[in-house]
Copies of this chain bind each other. A is one copy, B any other.
């Protein structure tokens, strides 16, 4: 363990930005539209346009109406990774049924040349952001010898529940891809509203491919972290959402869908 720690220290650099450290954080808001349980129950249509979502944040993840692909955005450029595995720029009029965004402000930087799989990356992020009661956003540049992502096909009505929809998901495996991971860690106490723990989407540097991250082997991680203590949840105002039973989603079903 001592050797491992020494090795970690040798190969990583942490930059704490002025007036910030891992314990403090700015008064920033993480904005969420709808709830993960609504999505789990088949609530795939929202009224929020990308234009209005982007007023709430320049960085985030989500999906699109009819569950048509994985959303990823940073530096105010948002993309849709469809079930063909390709990334498409998102139109301002496109609607989302579920998304999480923030105005990303880097509070902590950490670079490492360690080679890590997804679980090891999560362990590193745990050590960099130990306060599990805060909302945390991560923007991570990475070079991936291997990365496995997925996207879900556009659904047709009557919508199946997500546990059914993901059975037909498209899985993409890429070698030697470099790109950006965009994601969040939500506290366990937010279960029902969002995915507890880590949740990452990925887009390659050439903006051609990506998806919801299932696994990776990466190196040259350039990690930027934003800590937040203010959460805004806007729920859709439509009859479909209002009719959903949002209390019956099982955590194990959510884990099946996300992993």
Chain A: residues with CB nearer than 8 A to chain B?
24-25, 29, 35, 37, 131, 133-134, 187-193, 229-237, 241-242, 244, 246-247
Contact = CB atoms under 8 A, between A and B. Distances in A.
B242 A235 contact: no
18 contacts: A24-B237, A133-B246, A134-B235, A134-B242, A188-B247, A189-B193, A189-B246, A189-B247, A191-B192, A192-B192, A229-B236, A230-B234, A231-B232, A231-B233, A231-B234, A232-B232, A232-B233, A233-B233
Nearest 4 interchain pairs by C-beta: A189-B246, A188-B247, A231-B233, A189-B192
A232 to B, nearest CB: 5
A29 B247 CA distance: 22
Given A29-B232, A230-B235, 20 more contacts: A24-B237, A25-B237, A35-B189, A131-B242, A133-B235, A133-B241, A134-B235, A134-B242, A188-B246, A188-B247, A192-B192, A229-B234, A229-B236, A229-B237, A230-B232, A230-B233, A230-B234, A231-B232, A231-B234, A232-B232
A247 to B, nearest CB: 4
A133 B242 contact: yes
A56 B234 CA distance: 16
A64 to B, nearest CB: 21
Given A133-B246, A242-B133, A189 B234 contact: no
A192 to B, nearest CB: 5
Contact of A133 (B24, B29, B244): B244
A53 B35 CA distance: 26
Contacts of A241: 133
A212 to B, nearest CB: 23
Nearest to A237: B229
Nearest to A133: B242
A189 B24 CA distance: 29
Contacts of A193: 189-190, 193
Contacts of A244: 133
B37 A189 contact: yes
A209 B42 CA distance: 48
A230 to B, nearest CB: 5
A251 to B, nearest CB: 11
A245 to B, nearest CB: 9
A162 to B, nearest CB: 16
A190 B189 CA distance: 10
Nearest to A43: B133
